[in-house]
Homo-oligomer: A and B are copies of this chain.
């Protein structure tokens, strides 16, 4: 059975309106799409982001600091989101698979990911977490609580935390084993819990790893045949938002690399996602996609989304 890694954004699960970490409606929708993938004959491997959720929980831990002598650190907040999102996805997916008559065992696993404590990302927090806030509140939180804040996607300000590159997924072996035996695995939540080796001891470190980079690393490490990075839009575009905007459909690796070199993809938005896709295909991946959650099955069938594929040798 061919496997497909599907990377789902934390935003696709978040309840923007209420501020709750998870929206039952959106969790239901995500699981429906996963079931469709199973029905179309692929084995899904699910990874998920946690930007809005981990920001909420970090805020919660900070405002409850009286409870703990030592402040809760961001790595532990990431572990909470792995527990919470893994739980909600398991609960709903178990039900939907049963309803669809699919007897696939599923499990969500804690995932630790090694990073380099000297990664320059620690000097330059760039990953937005938590809620959107306005300029005034951003200023207040900077002054009162030392938050580093920055504008995010023209929708307001958000707290920024460091986002180092993932180097190694500690649970890669068990995950591979489970995939080979056709378990549906949910893993690498929030990009993985960031740890590093110091004098032979694993320490947590305060960061949130980009889930697309971790997903790319997992797909490369385990030779997963297909990688889908879900976004809010159905395609990657050239000249996005301009009158001559053009959706990209199927690209060879060299075509994608050329567009990338020409600077077609925004540094804070599509750029890193396309970079992860290129990296994956360059290292042996078969097909990488960017598309919306709704179009995942169509993309796999070659009918939607933007695909970067390995060059066909003639």
Q: Are A60 and B69 in contact (CB under 8 A)?
A: no
Minimum Cβ distance to chain B for residue A196 (Å): 11
A98, A105, A106 interface centre (most CB from chain B within 10 Å): A105
B-contacting 9-mer, from A35-43, A86-94, A217-225, A291-299: A86-94
B-contacting 9-mer, from A17-25, A148-156, A264-272, A302-310: A17-25
Q: Are B60 and A67 in contact (CB under 8 A)?
A: yes
Q: Are B177 and A20 in contact (CB under 8 A)?
A: no
A70 close to chain B: CB less than 8 A: yes
State A62–B204 Cα separation when bound (angstroms).
Answer: 27
Partner of A193, one of B15, B59, B61, B87: B87
Residues of B within 8 A of A257 (CB): none
Q: Are B68 and A20 in contact (CB under 8 A)?
A: yes
B-contacting 9-mer, from A168-176, A208-216, A228-236, A282-290: A168-176
Q: Are A19 and B82 in contact (CB under 8 A)?
A: no
Residues of B within 8 A of A260 (CB): none
Residues of B within 8 A of A21 (CB): 68, 72
State A69–B15 Cα separation when bound (angstroms).
Answer: 10
State A266–B84 Cα separation when bound (angstroms).
Answer: 35
Q: Are A84 and B95 in contact (CB under 8 A)?
A: no
Minimum Cβ distance to chain B for residue A12 (Å): 19
Interface size class of A (residues with CB under 8 A): 35 or more
- For the complex of A and B, 7 pairs with smallest distance between CB atoms: A83-B83, A18-B69, A79-B87, A79-B83, A60-B64, A108-B110, A80-B80
Q: Are B19 and A202 in contact (CB under 8 A)?
A: no
Residues of B within 8 A of A94 (CB): 112, 170, 202
Q: Are A64 and B63 in contact (CB under 8 A)?
A: yes
Partner of A76, one of B87, B92, B201: B87
Residues of B within 8 A of A202 (CB): 91-92, 94-95
A80, A110, A171 interface centre (most CB from chain B within 10 Å): A110
State A204–B106 Cα separation when bound (angstroms).
Answer: 18
A181 close to chain B: CB less than 8 A: yes
State A75–B87 Cα separation when bound (angstroms).
Answer: 9
State A156–B19 Cα separation when bound (angstroms).
Answer: 37
Minimum Cβ distance to chain B for residue A9 (Å): 19
Q: Are B70 and A79 in contact (CB under 8 A)?
A: no
Minimum Cβ distance to chain B for residue A281 (Å): 28
